[in-house]
Chain A
Amino acid sequence: MRLRELVNSKELLKEWMIEKLIWICGISAIFFVFGIFFFVFREGADYLLRGFKVTEFFTSIEWYPTSRTQVRYGALALITGTFSVTLLAMFIAVPFGLGAAVFISEFCPPRLRESLKVIIELLAAIPSVVWGFIGLTIMNSLILNLFSAPIGLNVLNGGIILALMSVPIIVSIGEDALKAVPDSYREASLALGCTRWQMIFRVLVPAARNGLLAAVLLGVGRAVGETMAVLMATGHSIRIPGGVLEPVRTLTATIAAELGEAPVHSDHYQVLFIIGILLFSITFVVNLTADLVVRGIRRK
């Protein structure tokens, strides 16, 4: 009997169906990304092509979308707001997150490791509005008391809240990356007479660098895109911050706060979608850079 006759046709059909189903699952990611990009772009496209002033948008800090005399859409303050809060958050979260990842993966006794991981995952499960609430109440009064700042809702507040939100992501992905380094590397380097710290910095971190980079960038992604918590914690004031104790407003918070009030398809509404496109582009560039960096490392 030939092989083809041996195989049940029902089995072949099943195989074919599973194959196609998995194909759809894989392809759908591309479909959704382009779909979202298309709809966001379509909502803002009309104004973008008609009367949008690019230089004003990127260089002016005057954001007066509902002014009766002269409407101005200068987003520079919003952009610096997003970047200042994200930068501060990463300044705190990256060392803490990677440090915690190294501790959990390399130094932690097994029993403590399990409970630590559970607690860190719990931290990741806290809804962002709850973080915003913490910023609004606890952090606010803490900053008022400690720094005697005029206002407690500011870059520092938002940065700390965002850092706390990104740390769990950085820790769990960073720890996975370190755990994925084969034990033989650890043994080989220790057998060469190096200390534990030398092993971690000279062998483990370089070996896990793709994963660690991914961890940091996912943290950045979370911080750039976060809306509710920064809306509540940063003070919502349109200005370029002169220091960490000054309130700011981010791109995301602007969309969340104003989209409900802007008449559909008005200029204001469309400019908010243009901000959406900008956010989309920022995350795209971050991911692309990460990808190129990782590829560059691999090619070496």
Chain B
Amino acid sequence: MVAGKSKISVQDLRVTYGHKAALKGISFDIYENDVFAIIGPAQSGKSTLLSVLNRTLEFTADARYRGIVKVDGDDIRHLHNVYALRRKIGMVAPLPVGLPLTIYDNVAFAPRMAGIRTRDELDHRVEQCLRQAALWDEVKDRLNTLGTRLSGGQQQRLTIARALSHQPEILCLDEFSIAIDPVTTMRIEEVLKDLSQHMTIILVTNLVQQARRLANRTMFLFNGEIVELDHSDVIFSDHPAQHKTYEYVNGIFG
């Protein structure tokens, strides 16, 4: 599935933290219902890019961005309802952030904030999201215990369930497997494959193999610039367009 409708369109995006440039003018499109991977070493601007998308960058006092970012054709800079944008995007952080609530309330949080009040609907939504995040069987008997009581891997799946809870159209995962064991990681990867049928997924990862397994297209970011953006087949082949890509993917890169 290639070159569908553009879901996210980024044109000449530049982000600075004070005098330090984090993204130096990048342009690309992400297509609807695509799995799009962003790889690159630390400090290359991957997480910054995600925080531009749901406009959480503005909580960092000295951060500024220029350029045009469109989600579904709307320039996100001129939105008058930023909450609707954030509900459209599910965000999973590298380290799990369990809100100090019960497991149930963690997942029901966003639906409640969006105005869903009926118990049946919430129950249904919570179960569905926990199943999608491969966590339901482990927690179904203790939904009323604190989310922070779970193990690290379970907490991360809880944040995935929570990110799905407001039925986003775009799911961003920022190195989600950093705190999870390999078996669970594989289970979540299966889940992501299912979700990509009706959701755009942006996967920021340090594991190049994960990008190779999941993504249709992969972008290699380095120092705030795009080195290469192409189909994953090309990026992870023996002959990507840039020699640097080959070096990074194969771990030769210093």
Contacts and interface: CB of A to CB of B under 8 A. Distances in A.
Q: Do A and B bind each other?
A: yes
Interface of A: 182, 184-195, 198, 202-203, 206-207, 300
B97 A193 contact: no
Interface of B: 54, 56, 59, 83-87, 89, 91, 93, 95, 97, 99-101, 109-110, 112-114, 146, 159, 162-163, 165-166
A191 B165 CA distance: 12
B100 A193 contact: no
Contacts of A182: 97
B100 A203 contact: yes
A194 B166 CA distance: 11
Given A191-B86, A195-B83, A202-B109, A185 B100 contact: yes
A192 B110 contact: yes
A190 B56 contact: yes
Nearest to B91: A191
Contacts of B87: 192-193
Nearest to A188: B97
Contacts of A195: 83, 113
Nearest to B109: A192
B59 A189 contact: no
Given A188-B99, A206-B101, A193 B166 contact: yes
B93 A188 contact: yes
B162 A192 contact: yes
A206 B100 contact: yes
A186 to B, nearest CB: 7
B83 A194 contact: yes
A300 B97 CA distance: 19
A202 B114 CA distance: 13
A8 B112 CA distance: 63
A162 B246 CA distance: 72
A53 B101 CA distance: 50
Given A184-B93, A187-B56, A193 B110 contact: yes
A189 B109 contact: yes
User: Closest 8 A-B residue pairs measured CB to CB?
Assistant: A193-B87, A193-B86, A194-B113, A192-B110, A188-B97, A207-B100, A191-B91, A184-B97
10 contacts: A187-B56, A188-B99, A191-B54, A191-B56, A192-B166, A193-B85, A202-B109, A202-B112, A203-B100, A206-B100
Nearest to A208: B100
A182 B113 CA distance: 21
Given A185-B97, A192-B86, 8 more contacts: A184-B95, A190-B56, A190-B59, A192-B87, A192-B162, A192-B166, A193-B86, A193-B87
